[in-house]
Amino acid sequence: MAAGSSGGDGKLCSKSEGDSGFLGLRPTSVDPALRRRRRGPRNKKRGWRRLAQEPLGLEVDQFLEDVRLQERTSGGLVSEAPDEKLFFLDTGLKDRELNKKRTKGQKRSLLLKKPLRVDLILENTSKIPAPKDVLAHQVPNAKKLKRKEQLWEKLAKQGEVPRDVRRAQARLLNPPVPKAKPGPQDTVERPFYDLWAKNNPLERPLAGQDTFFLEQTKKKGVKRPLHLHTKPSQAPAVEVTPAGASYNPTFEDHQNLLWAAHEVELQRQKEAERLERQLALPSTEQVATQESTFKEMCQGLLEDSDEEGEPGEGQDKGPEAGGDQIRGDQTEGAKASAMPALLAAVEKKTERQRQREKAARMLRIQQAAVRAARLRHQELFRLRGIKAQVAQRLAELARRRERRQVQRLAEADRPRRLGRLKYQAPDIDVQLSSELSGSLRTLKPEGNILRDRFKSFQRRNMIEPRERAKFKRKYKVKLVEKRAFREIQ
């Protein structure tokens, strides 16, 4: 098929068909050399539109796509391929006669040698060779290794060899003695010992060693805490649901489960009502309005302005105010004159007075010591009472210890307070009487297995109670109206 067969203009095809060596595989393939190029500016918008509408760029893309197709299918351009690659000699009669002469075993062996259709689909049908991976042929530190090889070649001429070669030669001259493998008899005769016992043979060399040596040099293992293998709660991992949660329960069991769910809802409703009563406004007070709020804010401002706005009141009461000021000055002067008199009244103590005070002080100390000795002597006769008090105190401590133990055992199955949130029991999965079904096929599922396991972890004190994190946007959402939408409006 000629390259220009798809075109209708014979003048274009007659002259350039012999010169062009392009041979297309598709009916729409067109050689760009057969088309006359249209002149015109391409840096203007009119040129862009023409290039988009005219098939100049489209023909180039089709030409390149056809070239890529020929390279993938035939390994190169069809126009450049030799005749032996394009044509073959049909010897169909000889092949049919050869197939008739073959036996079933030969045909089966040929079928087994033929690749499967699945493998043919997965094979790479492209004739284009894969690009060479440059990184696969690169050697790290190639220049350094090359210089080292040149150095050892130079030293080998002088009779020196690398250390690895010298060690290999020494091992060949003096081969190591092979170790005797223990036989089954040796394994039977070897004594058994407890690996985890304190006196096992592995830990005998470490007996009596320094702690620093065991921790730093021998890397002594970390001592495990005693509560590592103890369960945080004695509650079972999987609780058996009540009989009323069955898909076909009895009437009594289902009513008991409904009553339990009803009690939970009543308790929740009472808590909500109690919270509303606590947050409700007292009946004696009124709701604050804008006017009352303004009055409360201006409560002290009006009094201050009244006091500042009447400066003549002090002047009207001039004589009386002056008399009060004079009396205050007189009292202050009297107090100031009385202070030196009090200081003069307190005279310095004589030596005799100091001795008397010291003797009285020593007498008080001796009397206190005699009184303490007498009390200690009297306590010897109170040994029976002291023993009774000690026994009573020990009995009280034992009762408290027993009470704490009982309380601890009672709270062993309850969830503890591990975080800032309290544990909230999940809702009871129950179906109403109208939702019950007599078969598993029509049973309506209740609950969630993941939520049930999550609550089980919280109930067994394995994780703290949690709540879903609230999404808080860090930035304000900015609404922008697109220009295209604005032009439509």
Report the alpha-carbon distance of residue 226 to residue 208 in Å, rounded: 24
Give the residue from 134, 154, 131 showing the smallest Cα distance to 142: 134
Report the alpha-carbon distance of residue 137 to residue 146 in Å, rounded: 15
At residue 132's C-alpha, the angle toward residues 127 and 138, to 5°, is 165
pLDDT at 289: 86
228 Cα distance to chain centroid = 24
Judged by DSSP in three states, 118 sits in: helix
- Copy the structure tokens of residue 366: 């001796």
Report the alpha-carbon distance of residue 422 to residue 461 in Å, rounded: 12
Which H/E stretch holds residue 98? helix 92-101
pLDDT at 181: 75
- Copy the structure tokens of residue 473: 């946007």
pTM higher than the cut 0.85:
no
Which amino acid makes up residue 102? R
Give the residue from 41, 34, 47 showing the smallest Cα distance to 2: 34
Give the residue from 437, 52, 6, 413 showing the smallest Cα distance to 237: 413
Q: Is 30:24 a contact under the CB 8 Å cutoff?
A: yes
pLDDT at 344: 53
Which amino acid makes up residue 319? P
pLDDT per residue of the chain (489 residues) written in tens, 0 to 9: 333 444 444 444 444 444 455 566 666 666 655 555 556 676 777 776 666 556 666 777 788 889 888 888 877 888 888 888 888 777 777 767 777 777 888 888 888 888 888 888 888 878 887 778 777 778 888 899 999 999 999 988 988 888 888 888 898 888 888 877 766 666 666 677 787 777 777 777 777 777 777 777 766 667 778 888 888 888 899 988 899 988 888 999 999 999 999 999 999 999 999 999 998 877 777 778 888 888 888 887 766 555 555 554 444 444 444 555 555 555 665 555 555 555 555 678 899 999 999 999 999 999 999 999 998 888 888 888 889 999 999 999 999 999 999 998 888 888 999 999 999 999 998 888 888 887 888 888 888 899 999 999 999 999 999 988 887 877 888 888 888 777 766
Which H/E stretch holds residue 450? helix 449-459
The residue assigned the tokens 């489209």 is 58
Report the alpha-carbon distance of residue 311 to residue 316 in Å, rounded: 10
Cβ-based neighbour number of residue 101 at 10 Å: 8
Using CA atoms, how far residue 223 sits from 89, 226, 373, in Å, is 86, 9, 54
φ and ψ of 484, to 5 deg: -65, -40
Report the alpha-carbon distance of residue 336 to residue 332 in Å, rounded: 6
Report the alpha-carbon distance of residue 245 to residue 446 in Å, rounded: 10
